[in-house]
Amino acid sequence: MGTEIERKFILRAVPEWVSETEGSAIRQGYLAAGAGAEVRVRLRDGSPRLTVKRGEGLARDETEIDLADAQFAALWPLTEGQRIEKTRYRHPLGDLTLEVDVYEGPHAGLVVAEIEFASIAESRSFEPPDWLGREVTGDERWANRSLALAAEMPAIAE
């Protein structure tokens, strides 16, 4: 088990560099999602995984397990109505890596950037550039599990 330390931002538009970057197709569905915990299955570029996350906000415990294709196929139907689809693009941002998710399907139009940090102190000292947009770290409305479970997407412009 590891700890994920991450800040999240809503971008106003898809960054120009995305058109020059190869993205990773991601489909993920939630088997369980409650207050402070989630269990999901994800297919990223054809590789299936099971992920368990605990906690909320800036730092959360995370455990990932590779799945066999047959295991993913058995679990995927259980996520019906609790899914998201997106393409992830990675881009350097100084010494950090920016991950930009461009959502598809019912969440089309949503563009989210996430940055993972090695420590809480490093996260807190990060000064985001203005183009990253509004920070939504810890805002549960923008958690992937919340988006997957919501009847409709929250308003982007707030």
100-157 confidence digits (pLDDT tens): 999 999 999 999 999 999 999 999 999 999 889 999 998 888 989 889 988 677 777 6
pTM metric for this prediction: 0.90
Q: List the catalytic residues.
A: 30
- pLDDT reading at 158 higher than 60: no
- CA R_g for the chain: 15
According to the model, what pLDDT value does residue 57 have?
78
pLDDT, residue 95, reads 92
Q: What's the confidence (pLDDT) of residue 35?
A: 72
Query: What are the structural domain ranges in the chain?
Result: 2-149
| 74 torsion bin: left (phi>0), alpha (psi -120 to 50), beta (else) | alpha
Candidate CATH numbers 2.40.320.10, 3.40.630.30, 3.40.50.300, 3.40.50.2300; the one for domain 2-149 = 2.40.320.10
What residues are paired with 61 via a beta bridge? 3, 54
Query: Which of 9, 133, 139 minimizes the C-alpha distance to 150?
Result: 139
Quote the CA–CA distance of 17 and 4 in Å, as a whole number. Answer: 26
For the stretch 9-68, pLDDT in tens is 999 999 999 999 999 999 999 999 887 789 999 999 999 999 999 988 788 899 999 999
